[in-house]
Chains A and B, each alone.
Chain A
């Protein structure tokens, strides 16, 4: 739970430009993510969605632009910085270590150590980590047959849910997700969306990149459309239909 108020600005991004050689991936894109809200980032392939998310996570350094977390400007030197500053990113490949357990994955890089000299030498407090992980899974309604099994043995949806749970545990301001439900069955999607709802309840801002526009219309609080590296629309899902979103995505190229 964050101490900031509901509806406050968690992440503000403006004027992001990024060029790869002769290709302009982003041409001055911007984004405002508010606590307690789910924002869907929509655009055609090559519109710059992934690049924008990578700029916020620190994986990519923008050529120009400003990024602020919780009202403070940040300069991100790598993915570790965004995590440290309270913004978690879930990548398409999930970034889970398949041979490690749920608890180990959840605390990877941020392990809890025992007190005293032993702790300073790196001895782990496995019990605390396992307990915490169990609690989080219970909160999210994720049931696992074997808690200590390697994450590899879980289903795709369960793994996704673990990744979301991990992000939720550590995020203080926002969670960014790149295509969280691509290639998942219906039941598994529900798991993921459940977790996202919990994140929102915890007063975090959530950003989703998704190609599933109908689902976004049902699920998101705000839709931001990118085209050719810049913002072209910001829509209220309750007030638009699929056609309008697609029109915005494709622009003049859309045959009527």
Chain B
């Protein structure tokens, strides 16, 4: 009896120690307190309404996808700042494909889309293919040229955006069927959950599982923790890193699809800060900038915090610039906590 008890106690204390040292736990607590605070001070507690919660989640769907991808890359000690350009290029190609295939130029300009369904499928495919290819290019340059990922993706940021501008002629793709917004992005599953939110949750759950429970996840973190040890252990480090960039590219393509669906338009200039936001979200959530530690759940929390702040400040009619300051402070706190965890002898 006594040994069972002490075993249980040890298990509980081990779990709670790990939990309390997890940055993502504290960030979740922070997120909850923000939600409760805004809920209480907003007129009629409107902030706490389910509608508001789902609206915030909808706004965060795209960021959620790329934050999780960033999680993986950071976990392996890589950095991808070309995310925004990838999304921009992918959405341009997607938009062009849809508009080209949905009908003749005259029909499309008049809002008639005879081949709508298969044009949309082709467009989605184009987005994912473009994203994956862009990611593949990043991965090849990083692993073959053996250049720092920051430098490589800095270069591809410009290349990707330039390509997008050349292909689009500098303006957003017009005549994208509005049904992508009304019939897809606005669609609520069960009348409640916005479809993009469901998609992001499903994708994030799968990626969470892969990171925590599969060999692929372990190897990702091993590479970020010690490239040397991983290579010595027989892991094909370059191939794994390449696959991570392709994964990120696919997520960028998916994010581009959600973006076009939401606005029924491409957004050429609107993705400049995407990479920064994705990295912030991952870091706030406990993913280490130095590799070896990553949290998918934390990245989602990290993506939600700025959105909750932004929405809350608007609802209580306060100067929205506080959001920037507060998010900056939170990032510092998260990185500080990560540093402390690294130094601590548990």
Contact = CB atoms under 8 A, between A and B. Distances in A.
A98 B292 contact: yes
Interface string A80-95: 1001100000010111
Given A93-B228, A95-B226, A95-B232, A122 B216 contact: yes
A97 B231 CA distance: 11
A121 B225 contact: no
A153 B14 CA distance: 14
B346 A123 contact: no
A148 interface: yes
B15 to A, nearest CB: 9
A19 interface: no
A99 B213 contact: no
Interface string B229-272: 11111110000000000000000000000000000000000000
Interface residues of B, number: 30
B224 interface: yes
A52 B142 CA distance: 33
A109 B226 contact: no
B226 A98 contact: yes
A198 interface: no
Contact of A111 (B210, B218, B229, B344): B218
B215 A111 contact: yes
Contacts of A79: 231-232, 234
Nearest to B218: A104
Contacts of B345: 153
A86 B300 CA distance: 44
A97 B346 contact: no
Interface string B258-294: 0000000000000000000000000000001001110
A61 interface: no
A99 B234 contact: no
B305 interface: no
B148 interface: no
A145 interface: yes
Contacts of A97: 221-222, 225-226, 229-230, 292
Q: How many interface residues does chain A have, given as a range?
A: 20 to 34
Given A95-B226, A109-B233, A153-B345, A148 B18 contact: yes
A66 interface: no
B214 interface: yes
B342 interface: yes
A13 B216 CA distance: 37
Contacts of B291: 99
Given A80-B234, A95-B229, A124-B213, A100 B221 contact: yes
A23 B222 CA distance: 35
A80 to B, nearest CB: 4
Given A108-B230, A146-B17, A99 B292 contact: yes
A169 interface: no
A126 B344 contact: no
A80 B235 CA distance: 9
Contact of A121 (B214, B226, B229, B293): B214
A80 B345 CA distance: 32
Interface centre among A83, A99, A145 (most CB of B within 10 A): A99
A79 B293 CA distance: 26
B234 A109 contact: yes
A96 interface: yes
A153 B215 contact: no
Nearest to A111: B215
Contact of A145 (B218, B288, B346): B346
A118 B225 CA distance: 26
Contacts of A148: 14, 18
A121 B84 CA distance: 31
A7 to B, nearest CB: 30
Nearest to B236: A80
B222 A104 contact: yes
Contacts of A98: 225-226, 292
B292 A122 contact: no
Interface in A165-197: none
Contact of A91 (B218, B224, B230, B232): B232
A32 interface: no
Contact of A123 (B214, B221, B230): B214
Contacts of A91: 232
A96 B229 contact: yes
Contacts of B292: 97-100, 150
Nearest to B75: A99
A152 interface: yes
Given A97-B229, A108-B230, A109-B234, A124 B14 contact: no
A83 B232 CA distance: 9
Given A108-B230, A124-B214, 7 more contacts: A96-B229, A97-B226, A97-B230, A98-B225, A99-B291, A104-B218, A104-B222
Which are the 4 A-B pairs with shortest beta-carbon distances? A99-B292, A109-B233, A97-B225, A80-B234
22 contacts: A93-B228, A94-B229, A95-B232, A97-B292, A99-B221, A99-B293, A100-B221, A104-B218, A104-B222, A108-B222, A109-B230, A109-B234, A110-B234, A111-B215, A113-B215, A121-B214, A123-B213, A123-B214, A124-B218, A148-B18, A152-B342, A153-B345
Interface of B: 14, 17-18, 210, 213-216, 218, 221-222, 224-226, 228-235, 288, 291-293, 342, 344-346
